[in-house]
Chains A and B, each alone.
Chain A
Amino acid sequence: MSLAAHGHCLRGIVGRELLRFVHQRSRFVAALVRPLVWLFVFAAGFRMALGVAMTEPYQTYILYEVYIVPGLVGMIQLFNGMQSSLSMVYDREMGSMRVLLVSPFPRWYLLLCKLLAGTLVSILQVYVFLAIAYLYGVQAPAMGYVLMLPALIVTGFLVGALGMLLSSLVRQLENFAGIMNFVIFPMFFLSSALYPLWRLREGSELVHWIAVLNPFTHAVEMIRFAMYVRFNVEATLIVLATTMVLLALAILAYNPAKGMMARKGGPGGGD
């Protein structure tokens, strides 16, 4: 298969995802409203209680709304990654997934294209959110917004691959909501998105260790450091390694011969 054909396929999948995103205005608004409510309401309420946190990569004391922004960026990507996987379950139920998977391209390539498409949509949402946060007064160095981009791509793939793996385990759309609740909320709350790790440790040693083991914590820290023109090597390596593993598992799960789809009798499952 030629490179041009691969490009054509990529354009098709990304184009479809972007088109779907643009057409679903309510989805876009919902994706923005969620973190903005956290920023304007939740962070304002906690301003006094947590207003003097000083933690890396910040060089001085910051207001809570400054601290929470990278976590909310992660939240946007987490919800988007899950939503995109939700759409895969929907596609599977509706049969459009079958159309995609019968194309002559290797399955791993199709899944990667799908992940990239979802990631791009989430990055679009993130930058609109950051622009509003900037006007609200949460301003990072200009270079930080550029350096965030690779971190956002990696995080997009991380949560996308996780969602994809989960979608392969779910047979019906109805079941997916439950998994979302059991995955999204623990991942978000048991991370450094809302509170620094040292603050979690003050509350509970167990919660602190769960947060340390949570890959989403490292994704948020990678974004946070990049936003302030710093590079968190440890967080980046952990996120990259986790993404690779989840990606491999997702591709395996969608493998018609060996994956979960085969056992479930899903598309390409050969039933």
Chain B
Amino acid sequence: MQYVLLFHETAEERAKRHDPVAAEPYWGAWNAYMGAMAQAGVMVGGNGLQPPETATTLRIENGTRHVVDGPFADTKEAFGGYVVLEASDLDAALEWAARAPCASGGSVEIRPVMAGPTA
């Protein structure tokens, strides 16, 4: 069965991406994590995302388009990337989620992927 791991990061954590000292361990940790998933053959796909400042949100109300600068919701933790994971059950998915660098100092949301329309 497939799960999506949604990675949420705090602004502080995200700032490490470009910090001269913190960038190397930050990317090292993510690379190692992605590498381990690829090596285990559990990763179906996934992407990291540009920071929330780059987001644009569109909403149509009564036929009027509202285009807003910024993410859908301004929260302490922002959505930073995702992975589609092949896992036997929720516990197996939890085990992978716990290994994500953002599991400490952020959070990982685990969502089962919906089965196809015939199911």
Are A and B a genuine interacting pair, yes or no? no
Binding site for A on B (CB under 8 A): none
Residues of chain A at the chain B interface (Cβ within 8 Å): none
